[in-house]
Amino acid sequence: MVIQQPFENASPAILSAAMALSTIGLFEETGAYLHGHFRLTSGLHSGEYLQCAKVLAHPDYAERLGHELAGKLSPLISQLSVDVTVAPAMGGIIIGHEVARALGTRSLFTERDGVTNEMTLRRGFEIKPGENAIVIEDVITTGGSTKEVVRVLQAAGANVIAAGSIIDRSGGRAEVGVPRVSLETLEPVTYQPDDCPLCRAGQPVIKPGSRRT
Protein backbone atom coordinates (compact mmCIF):
# COMPACT_ATOMS: atom_id res chain seq x y z
CA MET A 1 0.00 0.00 0.00
CA VAL A 2 1.47 3.35 -1.08
CA ILE A 3 -0.13 6.49 0.32
CA GLN A 4 0.10 9.41 -2.09
CA GLN A 5 1.67 12.60 -0.76
CA PRO A 6 -0.65 15.61 -0.35
CA PHE A 7 -0.01 19.10 -1.76
CA GLU A 8 2.20 17.85 -4.61
CA ASN A 9 1.07 20.80 -6.76
CA ALA A 10 0.44 23.34 -3.99
CA SER A 11 2.41 26.57 -3.69
CA PRO A 12 4.89 26.83 -0.76
CA ALA A 13 2.62 29.42 0.92
CA ILE A 14 -0.44 27.14 0.80
CA LEU A 15 1.61 24.16 1.94
CA SER A 16 3.07 26.02 4.91
CA ALA A 17 -0.27 27.47 6.04
CA ALA A 18 -2.18 24.22 5.75
CA MET A 19 0.38 22.04 7.49
CA ALA A 20 0.67 24.51 10.39
CA LEU A 21 -2.99 24.08 11.35
CA SER A 22 -4.47 21.23 13.35
CA THR A 23 -7.60 19.49 12.09
CA ILE A 24 -9.75 21.66 14.35
CA GLY A 25 -7.67 24.64 13.25
CA LEU A 26 -8.79 24.03 9.67
CA PHE A 27 -12.42 24.07 10.85
CA GLU A 28 -11.91 27.32 12.73
CA GLU A 29 -10.05 29.01 9.87
CA THR A 30 -12.75 28.15 7.34
CA GLY A 31 -15.66 29.08 9.62
CA ALA A 32 -16.72 25.45 9.82
CA TYR A 33 -16.77 25.27 13.63
CA LEU A 34 -20.24 26.70 14.21
CA HIS A 35 -21.73 27.97 17.46
CA GLY A 36 -25.44 28.51 17.98
CA HIS A 37 -28.44 26.21 18.49
CA PHE A 38 -28.54 23.09 16.33
CA ARG A 39 -30.80 20.05 16.02
CA LEU A 40 -28.63 17.05 15.21
CA THR A 41 -29.59 14.06 13.09
CA SER A 42 -30.04 12.11 16.33
CA GLY A 43 -32.75 14.60 17.37
CA LEU A 44 -30.60 15.96 20.19
CA HIS A 45 -29.82 19.67 20.45
CA SER A 46 -26.34 21.17 20.74
CA GLY A 47 -24.68 24.56 20.93
CA GLU A 48 -21.92 23.63 18.49
CA TYR A 49 -21.68 21.97 15.10
CA LEU A 50 -18.83 21.01 12.78
CA GLN A 51 -19.75 21.68 9.16
CA CYS A 52 -17.21 19.55 7.28
CA ALA A 53 -18.43 20.73 3.89
CA LYS A 54 -16.93 24.18 4.54
CA VAL A 55 -13.48 22.66 5.13
CA LEU A 56 -13.74 20.18 2.26
CA ALA A 57 -14.69 23.03 -0.09
CA HIS A 58 -10.94 23.80 -0.10
CA PRO A 59 -9.29 21.12 -2.28
CA ASP A 60 -5.88 21.41 -0.60
CA TYR A 61 -7.42 20.96 2.85
CA ALA A 62 -9.55 18.05 1.63
CA GLU A 63 -6.45 16.39 0.19
CA ARG A 64 -4.56 16.86 3.44
CA LEU A 65 -7.37 15.42 5.57
CA GLY A 66 -7.76 12.45 3.25
CA HIS A 67 -4.04 11.74 3.40
CA GLU A 68 -3.97 11.98 7.19
CA LEU A 69 -7.02 9.74 7.57
CA ALA A 70 -5.50 7.17 5.21
CA GLY A 71 -2.35 7.25 7.32
CA LYS A 72 -4.32 6.71 10.51
CA LEU A 73 -6.09 3.76 8.92
CA SER A 74 -2.79 2.17 7.89
CA PRO A 75 -2.30 0.03 11.04
CA LEU A 76 -5.74 -1.52 10.49
CA ILE A 77 -5.25 -2.30 6.80
CA SER A 78 -1.49 -2.74 6.43
CA GLN A 79 -1.69 -6.49 5.91
CA LEU A 80 -4.52 -6.28 3.39
CA SER A 81 -5.03 -4.81 -0.06
CA VAL A 82 -7.89 -2.30 -0.03
CA ASP A 83 -10.01 -2.60 -3.17
CA VAL A 84 -12.58 0.11 -2.60
CA THR A 85 -13.49 3.03 -0.35
CA VAL A 86 -17.21 3.62 0.20
CA ALA A 87 -18.83 6.68 1.80
CA PRO A 88 -22.42 7.64 2.59
CA ALA A 89 -23.83 10.54 0.59
CA MET A 90 -23.75 13.38 0.97
CA GLY A 91 -21.23 14.29 3.65
CA GLY A 92 -18.80 11.44 3.14
CA ILE A 93 -18.34 11.71 -0.63
CA ILE A 94 -15.45 14.20 -0.77
CA ILE A 95 -13.41 12.82 2.12
CA GLY A 96 -14.06 9.27 0.87
CA HIS A 97 -12.68 10.28 -2.53
CA GLU A 98 -9.59 11.85 -0.94
CA VAL A 99 -8.88 8.78 1.20
CA ALA A 100 -9.25 6.64 -1.93
CA ARG A 101 -6.81 8.93 -3.74
CA ALA A 102 -4.27 8.54 -0.93
CA LEU A 103 -4.67 4.75 -0.91
CA GLY A 104 -4.71 4.45 -4.70
CA THR A 105 -8.06 2.69 -4.84
CA ARG A 106 -11.48 3.44 -6.33
CA SER A 107 -14.09 5.52 -4.54
CA LEU A 108 -17.82 4.76 -4.38
CA PHE A 109 -20.71 6.15 -2.35
CA THR A 110 -24.10 4.99 -1.17
CA GLU A 111 -27.33 6.99 -1.35
CA ARG A 112 -30.68 6.85 0.37
CA ASP A 113 -33.57 5.33 -1.53
CA GLY A 114 -36.25 7.94 -2.11
CA VAL A 115 -39.01 5.58 -0.96
CA THR A 116 -37.49 3.48 1.83
CA ASN A 117 -34.82 5.99 2.97
CA GLU A 118 -32.39 3.06 3.20
CA MET A 119 -28.78 3.23 2.02
CA THR A 120 -28.11 1.58 -1.32
CA LEU A 121 -25.55 1.50 -4.13
CA ARG A 122 -26.80 3.24 -7.29
CA ARG A 123 -25.38 4.80 -10.48
CA GLY A 124 -24.02 1.46 -11.68
CA PHE A 125 -21.67 1.14 -8.69
CA GLU A 126 -20.79 -2.50 -8.03
CA ILE A 127 -19.05 -4.41 -5.27
CA LYS A 128 -17.54 -7.77 -6.14
CA PRO A 129 -17.80 -10.58 -3.57
CA GLY A 130 -14.58 -10.87 -1.59
CA GLU A 131 -13.42 -7.30 -2.16
CA ASN A 132 -11.78 -5.56 0.79
CA ALA A 133 -13.60 -2.32 1.61
CA ILE A 134 -13.28 0.56 4.05
CA VAL A 135 -16.06 2.99 4.98
CA ILE A 136 -15.31 6.71 5.25
CA GLU A 137 -17.48 9.41 6.84
CA ASP A 138 -17.01 13.10 7.52
CA VAL A 139 -18.50 13.07 11.05
CA ILE A 140 -19.60 10.17 13.25
CA THR A 141 -22.07 10.93 16.05
CA THR A 142 -23.99 7.72 16.71
CA GLY A 143 -22.34 5.71 13.92
CA GLY A 144 -25.69 5.04 12.27
CA SER A 145 -24.77 5.98 8.69
CA THR A 146 -21.49 4.08 8.82
CA LYS A 147 -23.25 0.97 10.11
CA GLU A 148 -25.75 1.19 7.26
CA VAL A 149 -22.96 1.33 4.69
CA VAL A 150 -21.19 -1.60 6.38
CA ARG A 151 -24.39 -3.66 6.08
CA VAL A 152 -24.81 -2.73 2.38
CA LEU A 153 -21.25 -3.84 1.65
CA GLN A 154 -21.48 -7.04 3.64
CA ALA A 155 -24.74 -7.92 1.88
CA ALA A 156 -22.85 -7.54 -1.42
CA GLY A 157 -20.20 -9.98 -0.18
CA ALA A 158 -17.47 -7.46 0.64
CA ASN A 159 -15.02 -7.82 3.50
CA VAL A 160 -15.35 -4.55 5.44
CA ILE A 161 -12.06 -4.20 7.28
CA ALA A 162 -12.23 -0.72 8.83
CA ALA A 163 -13.99 2.63 9.01
CA GLY A 164 -12.73 6.17 9.41
CA SER A 165 -13.99 9.72 9.88
CA ILE A 166 -12.58 13.21 10.15
CA ILE A 167 -14.48 13.90 13.37
CA ASP A 168 -15.84 11.55 16.04
CA ARG A 169 -18.51 13.38 18.04
CA SER A 170 -19.27 10.36 20.21
CA GLY A 171 -16.29 10.66 22.54
CA GLY A 172 -15.04 7.36 21.14
CA ARG A 173 -18.15 5.40 22.11
CA ALA A 174 -19.87 4.86 18.76
CA GLU A 175 -19.82 1.24 17.58
CA VAL A 176 -20.05 0.56 13.84
CA GLY A 177 -19.29 -3.19 13.72
CA VAL A 178 -15.70 -2.84 12.45
CA PRO A 179 -12.52 -1.20 13.82
CA ARG A 180 -12.52 2.54 13.23
CA VAL A 181 -10.37 5.65 13.61
CA SER A 182 -10.85 9.41 13.42
CA LEU A 183 -8.62 12.46 13.16
CA GLU A 184 -10.30 14.22 16.09
CA THR A 185 -12.46 12.88 18.92
CA LEU A 186 -14.85 15.30 20.61
CA GLU A 187 -17.66 15.05 23.12
CA PRO A 188 -19.79 18.18 22.75
CA VAL A 189 -22.59 18.84 25.21
CA THR A 190 -25.98 17.79 23.87
CA TYR A 191 -29.51 18.23 25.22
CA GLN A 192 -32.81 16.43 24.95
CA PRO A 193 -35.25 18.61 22.99
CA ASP A 194 -37.63 18.83 25.97
CA ASP A 195 -34.83 19.85 28.33
CA CYS A 196 -32.73 22.22 26.25
CA PRO A 197 -31.53 25.49 27.82
CA LEU A 198 -31.08 26.99 24.35
CA CYS A 199 -34.76 26.37 23.64
CA ARG A 200 -35.73 27.89 26.99
CA ALA A 201 -33.68 30.96 26.11
CA GLY A 202 -35.74 31.36 22.95
CA GLN A 203 -32.80 30.82 20.61
CA PRO A 204 -34.02 29.61 17.18
CA VAL A 205 -32.96 26.04 16.33
CA ILE A 206 -31.23 25.20 13.06
CA LYS A 207 -31.09 21.77 11.39
CA PRO A 208 -27.71 21.66 9.59
CA GLY A 209 -26.39 18.83 7.44
CA SER A 210 -28.05 16.89 4.62
CA ARG A 211 -29.75 14.00 6.37
CA ARG A 212 -33.35 13.99 7.59
CA THR A 213 -33.80 13.89 11.35
Q: List the beta strands (DSSP E) in 113-211.
A: 119-121, 132-140, 159-168, 180-185, 190-191
Average pLDDT, the chain: 88
Q: Residue ranges of the alpha helices (H) in 11-119?
A: 12-20, 23-29, 52-56, 59-77, 93-103
How many residues make up the chain in this entry? 213
- Would the pTM of this model clear 0.95, i.e. be above it? no
Summarize the confidence of residues 77-96 as an average pLDDT: 92
Residue range 7-31, pLDDT digits in tens: 455 444 444 455 568 999 999 999 9
Question: What integer pLDDT is reported at residue 43 of this predicted model?
Answer: 85
CA-angle at 170, arms to 165 and 171, nearest 5°: 100
Question: What integer pLDDT is reported at residue 14 of this predicted model?
Answer: 47
CATH topology of domain 12-200: Rossmann fold (3.40.50)
Burial of 171 (0-12, 13-18, 19+ CB in 10 A): exposed
Residue 4 has pLDDT above 60, yes or no: no
CA-angle at 67, arms to 187 and 91, nearest 5°: 55
- Long-range pairs of 8-15 with CB within 8 A, sequence gap ≥ 24: 10/60, 14/60
Maximum mean pLDDT: which of 38-42, 124-128, 164-168, 188-192: 164-168
Residue range 144-156, pLDDT digits in tens: 999 999 999 999 9
What residues does each domain of the chain span?
Answer: 12-200
Roughly how many angstroms between the first and final C-alpha of the chain, as a whole number?
Answer: 38
